Chain A
Amino acid sequence: MKKFTLFFVSFVFLLVLPHKGFGETVKIGVQYPLTGKLAKHGQGCLEGAQIAFDEFNSRGGKLKAKMIVVDDESSPQKGVAAVEKLIAREGVIGINGGYGSHIIGPSSETAAQYGVAYLSVGGVSSKLTARGLKNYYRVNNIPGYAKAQLGLIRDVFSGEKKVAIISNSKVATLDIANNIKKMLESEKIPVVFFEKFAAKTTNFDPLLLKVKESGANILIVEGYFPDYVATIRSAKTLGVKLDAYIGAWGVGSPEFIKELGPLSNYIYGTSLWEKGTAPKEARDEEKTFVDLFVKKFGKDPSYLSMLGYIGAKLMLEAAERAFERGKLNREGLLEELRKTDRVTPIGRVAFDEKGDPKYFTCLIIQIRGNDFTVVYPEDRKNADAVYPAVPWM
């Protein structure tokens, strides 16, 4: 009996020891929309994530990582199925990814049922962190857009400030608009006009006339490409006297500058990342990433790839810490992810109790000719803002 026990114990020991000693592999699921409506976004994020895994596995540590990619086909239902598959069949202990709040919502809930960490880079809706999930984290959120717009107005603009805010009535844009309004008011910067507009509005003249009557000198438009085009055109037509026109996402895109031409000059917009804008502490990391990316894909990384990279990297770093603690499982990974606090190329990342990134702020870019400059925040900018200036005056 005793002999048998000894045999058994040494057998188990032998089985476990080399594993610990010569390396272990952690399985991380990566879920993105690789086909369908959001394919472009999902592909961009995935490319970044691939760099993070490559980098991790070639660093020479004892822990190796296996990336298991699933395509949710831009569909919430398929997202849930993808998560089920990752956890039940593949045995991943953490999931990275998702693009679009409507897909990430149900996907992360499914992961929550298994106590598996879900870290997203493409879900900004305030609803996602209002659910009280213990497994959900993200690196970017809506208030980060509003914070950047606030910073621009408060810290960069000088003189009298009267702000008009108009917003597309879609959830995400309205979310930013409500955030910036609250923030401006708590900073005692007057918001003289606030109105949402229907997503299918074709004639913006009457709305811009109301903005004109409000006496605002700064206009914030939370919208999309057609909204920017139409409001800029109306503002020009009606000669609305403004000192600044601030948009949100989409303003810095190449198509925006190409299509609008000189009409886009001096327009402000938000950006998550542009090459060369990492905070001092993360400059090296940014450079390494860009170099690896160019080597692997033969093109410059987009902000989406940067997001995908950071998301995957933070997940892997948490796994590494869990491994070192000897607790490389679902709970261990979650605990370590929660403790994340470091400066990344998109700024400092640490999570609050709801899983929201405490320090996340967008960049503010301003278009100049055929290019744009980063004008905010102070420690990441590459040029001073031109203020006051709008393209039609």
Chain B
Amino acid sequence: MSFSLLANSIASGLLMGANYALFAVGLSLVFGVLKIINLAHGELLLAGAYVGYFAIRGMGVPLPLALLFSGLSVGIVGYLYYFVVRRIRDDELNTLILTYGVGVILTNLFLLLFTADERIINIPWLTEGVWLGPVQVNRGNLVSGLVSLLIIGGLTFFLARTETGKMIRASSMDREAAALVGVDVERIDRFAFVLGCALAGFAGPLFGIVSHINPVGGEAVTINAFILTVLAGLGSIPGLLLAGIILGLGEAIIVVFASTMFQGIFALALFVAVLFLRPEGIFGRRE
């Protein structure tokens, strides 16, 4: 095993980890604030990916604009979706069934509108490799990883520093206490839910760049996002980045020393270990 193999694998794993976090951030936000596991998260992300696909490949829209457009469109979908979720949000089982159902509906809608064809958002300059010191990484992965840092950094700042952000945190920690100081907790819920959906949509085109778009691929995205959310600790946004990196790095290094066949076991072992040793998540707080 050479230095370049190890160093390059680490770099690649780090980037992949950052991407994982980006693809999970919407679910984590909604889970943290509303305590709802949005099982349609992956499908919303795919919806964003499809919007991005047709905007970029069909109309030649530049990537940053396509990201905003996807985020906005899926945000609108999230707004409508919230009206349904709101009615049953207090019953955990019902929200699981409902969000799962919305996911199934979206999947079938994709199949109907876009057929079962698999797609990728193929932007030539993003398929190149770039040198970062001694290692070579994919430019698409790099761009997506940087956007991930930006989104997670921005969201962390927003939650920590702005008044709305603090209202979201307060409401997620103790809804009643937040309402007692005058926070309109229902508005906050709606805002967080729509923001979570918009973030999923925003991440969609980047997913289409670093991975591939398959109408039935949403479930895998949701599962990954859920695993990261649990690893990170309920609603911890910076924790999401670190959890993603641990996963991405671990997966890459395992290939160096063994094979991809152990990636699944690694992810599962990490998950089980965290559940047993730190059920509150790696970065969660013990209550």
Contacts and interface: CB of A to CB of B under 8 A. Distances in A.
A34 to B, nearest CB: 16
Q: B-side binding surface: helix, strand, loop or mixed?
A: helix
A210 B136 contact: no
B243 to A, nearest CB: 15
A169 interface: yes
A47 B119 CA distance: 27
A225 B13 CA distance: 22
A196 interface: yes
A226 B256 contact: no
Contacts of A236: 127-129
19 contacts: A197-B261, A200-B263, A203-B251, A203-B255, A205-B138, A206-B5, A206-B12, A209-B4, A213-B2, A225-B118, A229-B212, A236-B127, A237-B127, A237-B129, A237-B138, A237-B139, A255-B117, A255-B118, A260-B120
Contacts of A40: 116
Contacts, number: 103
Given A202-B211, A206-B256, A262 B124 contact: yes
Nearest to B209: A233
A290 B211 CA distance: 38
Nearest to A209: B5
A211 to B, nearest CB: 11
Interface string A254-288: 01000111110000000000000000000000000
Q: A-side binding surface: helix, strand, loop or mixed?
A: helix
A195 B5 CA distance: 16
B68 to A, nearest CB: 24
Given A237-B137, A259-B118, A198 B263 contact: yes
A207 B254 CA distance: 10
A169 B265 CA distance: 15
Nearest to A227: B212
Interface string A232-259: 0110111100000000000000010001
A343 to B, nearest CB: 35
Contacts of A226: 118, 211-212, 214
Contacts of B255: 203, 206-207, 210
Chain A: interface size category = 20 to 34
Given A196-B261, A263-B122, 4 more contacts: A202-B211, A209-B4, A233-B138, A236-B128
Contact of B138 (A201, A234, A259): A234
Nearest to B137: A237
A116 to B, nearest CB: 33
B94 interface: no
B16 interface: yes
Interface string A208-232: 0110010000000000011001100
A233 B211 CA distance: 10
B260 interface: yes
A198 to B, nearest CB: 5
Interface residues of B, number: 40
A238 B136 contact: yes
B9 interface: yes
A255 B211 CA distance: 16
A201 B260 contact: yes
A171 to B, nearest CB: 14
Contact of A259 (B1, B122, B137): B122
A259 B260 contact: no
Interface string A116-155: 0000000000000000000000000000000000000000
B248 interface: yes
A260 B121 CA distance: 9
Query: 4 smallest A-B Cβ distances: which pairs?
Result: A206-B255, A205-B12, A237-B129, A237-B138
Contacts of B253: 206
Contacts of B129: 236-239
B252 to A, nearest CB: 5
A253 to B, nearest CB: 9
Contacts of A198: 260-261, 263-264
A35 to B, nearest CB: 13
A237 B136 contact: yes
Contact of B12 (A169, A201, A203, A225): A203
Task: Tell which of A206, A207, A259, A260 has the most Cβ of chain B within 10 Å.
Answer: A206
Contacts of A197: 259-261
A33 to B, nearest CB: 14
B118 A209 contact: no
Contact of A205 (B8, B124, B140): B8
A207 B122 contact: no
Contacts of B97: none
A209 B259 contact: no
Contacts of B139: 237
B119 A259 contact: yes
A373 to B, nearest CB: 22
Contact of A203 (B5, B119, B252): B252
B220 interface: yes
Contacts of B140: 233
A210 B127 contact: no
B213 to A, nearest CB: 9
Interface string B95-138: 00000000000000000000011111010100111000000111
Given A198-B260, A210-B5, A237-B137, A203 B120 contact: no
A237 B211 CA distance: 14
Interface in A163-190: 169
Given A196-B259, A209-B5, A213-B2, A229 B120 contact: yes
Contact of B9 (A206, A239, A261, A263): A206
Nearest to A391: B127
Contacts of B124: 261-262
A226 B120 CA distance: 9
Contacts of A238: 8, 129, 136
A233 B263 contact: no
A40 B16 CA distance: 34
